């Protein structure tokens, strides 16, 4: 199997739902030549390989010598073993989130990637959400972040806490925004349906003074995915689902502040007649609606083709999100209910 110089021979380990989505993306990217699908269930591997006109395998070791980059979308419990194999053979990998089954295992993957100088990316695709990408371009330095990610019961991933299933998306985004080490975590959670937390709220305090309040639930009656940021530069209110957001910047609204102070100095001015939004300079966030997984895979493949590039989410960042999630779960266990 060979590919042109400007293309990478790619393969996917895990032919489940995420593997199918990655296959669709990789089959269309100009940097990728999809050559293989691996799954322990031969029928699943063959079905997906047939759809994308590539080769089916049942053992990841069969990819050796045939690929330049691999996407791992197999169960989390197998991430470490698969990562060890590919990294030890200097094959760059993108691992679906979470990085590993534990921070300890994640640390081993990070250490291996450094030892072998091999690219390891983590599939926190929500970081590639068009809203998050647009927010990143603003270079905001937040002092307070509030994230809410709730939805009706999914009837899947019930063998893990809502923290590792859902909240970890926002944990990763918050860590990228705060750009500081975690100082303290306080959390409370409760399991209502199964054996693991279905609802959780966490308050994360960072060394630089930033504070984040994050809520995740899989027991809501509707789906909400929103985030708000307070900073000296601006206030942001963003909706991941609707892919929209508003920005109220401080400087352009200085005239409104002056006007309010003037009117406050006047006797008997009726502020009930004022339409508050008319006073503000409100900007709609400029959002480029690109498919998150395409952005994710492009950044991964480009980081292999160009040493000056880096993946959207590195192994170190994936490990940081996992460590924070574990700190939240630890705090939940320590919380005493009356």
According to the model, what pLDDT value does residue 139 have? 85
132 with 173: CB under 8 angstroms? yes
Query: b vs e for 151-172, b when ≥16 Cβ sit within 10 Å of the residue's Cβ?
Result: beeeeeebebbbbbbbbbbbbb
pLDDT tens track for 94-137: 999 999 999 999 999 999 999 999 999 999 999 999 999 988 88
* Digit-coded pLDDT (tens) for 286-296: 888 889 999 99
Query: 32 phi and psi, to 5 degrees?
Result: -120, 140
Tell which residue, 107, 48, 90, has the closest CA to residue 73.
48
Three-state DSSP at 199 gives strand
How far apart are alpha carbons 182 and 243 in whole angstroms?
Answer: 28
Domain with CATH 3.40.50.720 in the chain: 8-125+293-310
Percent of the chain with pLDDT over 90: 76
CATH 3.30.360.10, the chain: domain bounds: 128-267+277-290+323-334
List helix spans (H) across the chain: 17-26, 42-51, 79-88, 103-115, 130-138, 162, 168-178, 254-265, 276-279, 292-305, 315-334
Written as six digits, the tokens of 332 are 């939940």
Q: Determine the pLDDT at residue 296.
A: 97
Q: Judge contact between 280 and 255, C-beta under 8 A.
A: no
The pLDDT value recorded for residue 41 is 96
Residues 226-284 pLDDT 10s: 999 999 888 999 999 999 999 988 777 777 778 888 888 888 888 888 887 777 788 88
What's the half-sphere exposure (Cβ side, CA atoms, 13 Å) at 235? 7
pLDDT score, position 312? 96
Length of the chain: 338
Cβ neighbours for 266, distance < 8 A, ≥ 6 positions apart: none
Cα gap 186→325, rounded to integer Å: 11
Q: Which CATH class is domain 128-267+277-290+323-334?
A: alpha beta
- Per the structure block, which two tokens stand in for 289? 């609606």
**How much of the chain is in helix, strand and coil states, percent to nearest 5?**
40, 25, 35
Torsions phi, psi of 306, nearest 5? -130, 115
How far from each other are the two terminal CA atoms of the chain, in whole angstroms? 63
Which are the contacts of 308, defined by CB distance < 8 A and separation ≥ 6? none
Rounded distance between C-alpha atoms, residue 248 and residue 55, angstroms: 52
321 confidence band (pLDDT: 50, 70, 90): very high
Angle, helix 17-26 to helix 42-51, in steps of 10 degrees:
30
3-state secondary structure 121-167: EEECHHHHCHHHHHHHHHCCCEEEEEEEEECCCCCCCCCCCHHHHHH
* Domain 8-125+293-310: which CATH number of 3.40.50.2300, 3.40.640.10, 3.20.20.140, 3.40.50.720: 3.40.50.720
Whether residue 338 has pLDDT greater than 70: no
- Give the residue carrying structure tokens 């300079």: 281
Contact assessment for residue 229 and residue 265, using Cβ atoms and an 8 Å cutoff: no
Round to whole Å and give the CA distance between 58 and 47: 12
């Amino acid at each position: 199997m060979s590919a042109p110089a400007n293309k990478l021979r790619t393969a996917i380990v895990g032919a489940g739902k995420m593997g199918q989505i990655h296959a669709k993306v990789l089959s269309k990217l100009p940097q990728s030549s999809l050559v293989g699908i691996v799954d322990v269930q031969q029928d699943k591997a063959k079905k997906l390989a047939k759809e994308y006109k590539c080769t089916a395998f049942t053992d990841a070791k069969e990819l050796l010598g045939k690929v330049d980059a691999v996407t791992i979308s197999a169960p989390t419990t197998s991430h470490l073993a698969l990562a060890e194999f590919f990294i030890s053979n200097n094959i760059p990998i993108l691992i679906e989130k979470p990085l590993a089954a534990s921070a300890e295992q994640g640390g081993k993957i990070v250490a291996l990637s450094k030892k072998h100088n091999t690219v390891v990316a983590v599939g926190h695709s929500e970081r590639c959400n068009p809203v998050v990408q647009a927010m990143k371009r603003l270079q905001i330095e937040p002092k307070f972040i509030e994230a809410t990610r709730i939805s009706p019961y999914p009837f899947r991933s019930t063998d893990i806490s809502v923290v590792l299933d859902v909240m970890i998306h926002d944990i990763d985004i918050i860590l990228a925004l705060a750009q500081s080490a975690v100082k303290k975590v306080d959390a409370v959670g409760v399991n209502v349906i199964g054996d693991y937390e279905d609802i959780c709220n966490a308050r994360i305090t960072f060394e630089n003074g930033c504070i984040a309040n994050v809520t995740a639930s899989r027991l809501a009656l509707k789906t909400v995915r929103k985030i708000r940021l307070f900073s000296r530069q601006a206030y942001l209110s963003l909706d991941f689902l609707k892919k929209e957001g508003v920005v109220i910047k401080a400087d352009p609204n200085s005239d409104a502040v002056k006007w309010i102070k003037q009117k406050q100095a006047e006797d008997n001015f009726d502020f009930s007649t004022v339409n508050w939004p008319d006073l503000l300079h409100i900007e709609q966030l400029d959002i480029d609606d690109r498919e998150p997984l395409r952005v994710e895979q492009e950044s991964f493949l480009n980081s292999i083709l160009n040493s000056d590039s880096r993946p959207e989410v590195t192994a170190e960042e994936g490990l940081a999100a996992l460590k924070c999630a574990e700190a939240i779960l630890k705090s939940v266990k320590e919380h005493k209910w009356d």
